[in-house]
Structure 1
Amino acid sequence: MDQFKLVCPCLLGIEGLVAQELRDMGAQQVEPQNGRVVFDGSDEMLARANLCSRYSERVLVLMGTFRAVTFEQLFQGVKSLPWERWIDKKDKFPVKGRSLSSQLSSVPDCQSIIKKAIVERLKLKYKVPWFEESGSMYQVQFLILKDSVSVMLDTSGVGLHKRGYRANAAEAPIKETLAAAMANLARLWPDSKVYDPFCGSGTILIESALLAMNIAPGIQRNFIAETWQGIDSGIWMREKERAQDLVRRDSTFLATGYDIDGAAVALALDNAKKAGVISHVRAEKRDIRDFAEEGERGCVICNPPYGERLLNLQEAEELYRVMGQNFLPKRGWSYHIISPDETFEGCFGRLADKRRKLYNGMIKCQLYSYFKA
């Protein structure tokens, strides 16, 4: 079976989670790097990673990596890559990318040169003078970091955080991939009881349910590589069937959300229905001041409003104090709170048992975990 290099970009701080889930899927030669994970795979793994990766931002074919400090080196490096393996003579192949800390700093110039190099390669292979670009989409991406060039093809299309259930979102929602990572770090089980007292549009509730029930996050959406002629459509069908077979249908997991905004509560329930987990999610209008631990065990995972998002700093700090008074140490209970506020622990009233640096978009945060009674 034809093997090639794939790469999954991800939020900073969760490379290890991405690497482990790819290994669990059967990926070979998995190598976590800064903000991405590189691995070996086949057409099957390309489809599986798109369907099943909870924490990756997208799945890319890594065409090649080389060093370039001149436009000639960039041109020759790109031209030497086997573009004909993927792109047919009628396909579209636009180019976009980024350059960071590199001598080739002009992104428009790099785009133009990469495009020209691919055209020249395909002209030689297909013996045609020009390309109509009316067929399938092959989005070329490049990253030039410290003069090292990576050139890739995007297989996902819309980013993987777009699961298909959240057409509408409450104000300042958390990214689905980050919510899934928080659920993983909270060590959920198929019978866990999760609570989010700031549930908003329900992202943490839904991602927790998808994880606990082992529902593939991409099962309801499509991917750009499904239109590629070089990948047998039967592979996508088989991988979707495989994902369906792995669902834990006997899970007793339950996620409960609260929010002071009744419209957000209604939205959370609507999104849970779209995600296919409504039987495992409930939500109601309730203030954080009325939060109380119910039952022998529970896991609170939340993304409270904070200064840069919805509240001014004084209001945010008062909210943290209320949380500290309500989230009491208790055997069988744990609390996992993401915040960018360096004063969080002081306002909350206790030092976290564990801290982990994560990024919510471009905002550096800490995941504060409390689990000792």
Structure 2
Amino acid sequence: MRLIVTCAFGLEAVVKRELQALGFSGFSGADGRIEFPASVNDIPRINLWLRAADRVLLKLAEFPAADFDQLFDNTNRIPWENWIPREARITVLAKCVRSQLASERSCQSITKKAVVNRLLDHLRVRDLPETGEEYTIQASIIKDVAQITLDTTGPGLHKRGYRKDTGEAPLRENLAAALVLLSFYRPERLLLDPMCGSGTILIEAAMLARNIAPGLKRSFASESWAKVPAEAWEEARASARQAIIKEGELSIQGSDIDPARIEDAKANARRAGVGEDITFEVKDLKDLWIDKPSGIVISNPPYGIHVGSLKELTPLYVLLHKMFKNKDGWSLYILTADQRFPDFFKRARPDKVRKLFNGPIEAHYYQYYGKPPSPRG
């Protein structure tokens, strides 16, 4: 069997490295989709451990679909009875890109009709009550080729289960994890977010440092599937709990001018199991004093399009420049939708700029590398 892991554009290499660390290879796929061979018993482990991905899909078929007859007939040939029980609630999502079949609503309807007809015939029943667990089918039709998948994840992987109040302009958890994975952060380094909001970046960094599986506190759609052994889920969760690193201290600090956001951050960190690993405090950026020779800043300044005008963000950029212009031992990683940022942070040109997406919002990740820390710290 083959799985497809989806992710935001720009994060494919990050997710591939995560999958390689889990022991997978043989990758293929287009933008935002990574396909690879796996077994049904791998589904729990992949869902539990991926930090930067969106979903894990089970690929059931790929075929030409230039018209509705092709879509119906080929979808009807899939052995749905092997995966979907009679009482399942069936949801179909369709996406059509550069294809003759352009109506997503029509493709959803045709796909579901093909699935239902197949189940009625092979289960030898007259109706499907649709009173049980939800099974989500995705029909992705790109350039007249349909890819039919079954969603093993349920709510997106960014929903870890620890964040209750996101405040304004929330940064998705999987993107926050990707920001950390794209940095040179290591558990022995000092990590700072001086505009931490509800603490998502720092919480994801602490979970990474403690080797806490991001999906450990949530459930997944495929946990109810008869085809995925319950023992596989039990073993994957037990292994993840045993893998947590409890020893050693972390130097992770976050501050924000808003007391309510800091209270949210503390509560989120406690729910994530890293409440003792992060120091949060209410502090204006202009009052922050940097007295360490080296460290790492990973931050997502408030998006102007959500929080205020771009002019309101300019003082933040100027302050960051003043704070770090002579701190060449510090590495800075700044995600912002404002492309003016390098005009104000003039310590050097960014070493790397990546285009990333926080949901529908296009942003740039500006990476400034500091000098490596001395052996003494």
Determine the structure 2 residue equivalent to 1:18: 15
Contact 2:324 2:330 in 1 (8 A): no
Q: Is 1:144 equivalent to 2:141 in the alignment?
A: yes
Q: Deviations over 1:85-115 (max 9, x none)?
A: 2112232222122222221111121111101
Q: 1:360 aligns with which of 352, 358, 361?
A: 358
SS of the residue aligned with 1:338?
strand
- Quick one: percent identity of the two aligned structures? 39
How do residues 157-306 of structure 1 correspond to structure 2 at under 5 angstroms? 157-306=154-303
Q: Give aligned pairs, total.
A: 370
SS of the residue aligned with 2:21?
helix
Unaligned runs of 5+ in 2: 372-377
Contact 2:194 2:255 in 1 (8 A): yes
156-165 or 94-103, larger mean C-alpha shift:
94-103
Q: Find the aligned partners of 2:94 and 2:188 in 1 and give their Cα distance.
A: 43
For the structure 1 residues 90 and 180, does the alpha-carbon distance in structure 2 shift closer, same or farther, using more than 3 Å as the test? same
**Paired letter, 1:290:** D
Q: Calculate the TM-score normalised by the size of structure 2.
A: 0.94
**Paired letter, 2:67:** T
Q: Find the aligned partners of 2:260 and 2:308 in 1 and give their Cα distance.
A: 19
**Paired letter, 2:133:** S
Q: 1:309 aligns with which of 306, 314, 327?
A: 306
Determine the structure 1 residue equivalent to 2:37: 40
Determine the structure 1 residue equivalent to 2:375: none
Contact 2:59 2:147 in 1 (8 A): yes
313-322 or 212-221, larger mean C-alpha shift:
313-322
Q: Deviations over 1:175-214 (max 9, x none)?
A: 1011000001112212222111111111011011111211
Q: Find the aligned partners of 1:367 and 1:219 in 2 and give their Cα distance.
A: 28
Report how far residue 32 of structure 1 moved: 4.8
49-58 or 288-297, larger mean C-alpha shift:
288-297
Contact 1:22 1:30 in 2 (8 A): no
For the structure 1 residues 216 and 329, does the alpha-carbon distance in structure 2 shift closer, same or farther, using more than 3 Å as the test? farther
Report how far residue 280 of structure 1 moved: 0.6
Q: Find the aligned partners of 2:42 and 2:279 in 1 and give their Cα distance.
A: 35
SS of the residue aligned with 2:238?
helix
Contact 1:69 1:103 in 2 (8 A): yes
Contact 2:318 2:344 in 1 (8 A): yes
Contact 1:6 1:40 in 2 (8 A): yes
Q: Find the aligned partners of 1:11 and 1:294 in 2 and give their Cα distance.
A: 37
Report how far residue 325 of structure 1 moved: 1.1
Report how far residue 331 of structure 1 moved: 4.7
200-209 or 363-372, larger mean C-alpha shift:
363-372
Q: Is 1:85 equivalent to 2:82 in the alignment?
A: yes
65-74 or 129-138, larger mean C-alpha shift:
129-138
274-283 or 344-353, larger mean C-alpha shift:
344-353
Determine the structure 2 residue equivalent to 1:51: 48
**Paired letter, 1:361:** G
Q: Find the aligned partners of 1:212 and 1:296 in 2 and give their Cα distance.
A: 22
Q: Find the aligned partners of 1:256 and 1:331 in 2 and give their Cα distance.
A: 19
Contact 2:169 2:303 in 1 (8 A): no
Determine the structure 2 residue equivalent to 1:351: 349
For the structure 1 residues 141 and 329, does the alpha-carbon distance in structure 2 shift closer, same or farther, using more than 3 Å as the test? farther
Contact 1:63 1:153 in 2 (8 A): yes
RMSD: 1.6
Unaligned runs of 5+ in 1: none
Q: Is 1:129 equivalent to 2:126 in the alignment?
A: yes
SS of the residue aligned with 1:179?
helix
Q: Is 1:341 equivalent to 2:338 in the alignment?
A: yes
Q: Find the aligned partners of 1:136 and 1:284 in 2 and give their Cα distance.
A: 43
SS of the residue aligned with 2:89?
coil
Report how far residue 329 of structure 1 moved: 4.7
Q: Deviations over 1:317-367 (max 9, x none)?
A: 232112111123535421100112222101222421221221122222211
Contact 2:310 2:338 in 1 (8 A): no
Contact 2:90 2:137 in 1 (8 A): yes
Moved over 4 A (4+): none
Contact 2:76 2:117 in 1 (8 A): yes
Q: Find the aligned partners of 1:276 and 1:121 in 2 and give their Cα distance.
A: 45
Q: Find the aligned partners of 2:310 and 2:293 in 1 and give their Cα distance.
A: 34
Q: Calculate the TM-score normalised by the size of structure 1.
A: 0.95
SS of the residue aligned with 1:69?
coil
**Paired letter, 1:239:** A
Contact 2:320 2:345 in 1 (8 A): yes
For the structure 1 residues 32 and 179, does the alpha-carbon distance in structure 2 shift closer, same or farther, using more than 3 Å as the test? farther
SS of the residue aligned with 2:239?
helix
265-274 or 137-146, larger mean C-alpha shift:
137-146
Contact 2:210 2:244 in 1 (8 A): yes
Contact 1:142 1:152 in 2 (8 A): yes
Determine the structure 1 residue equivalent to 2:374: none
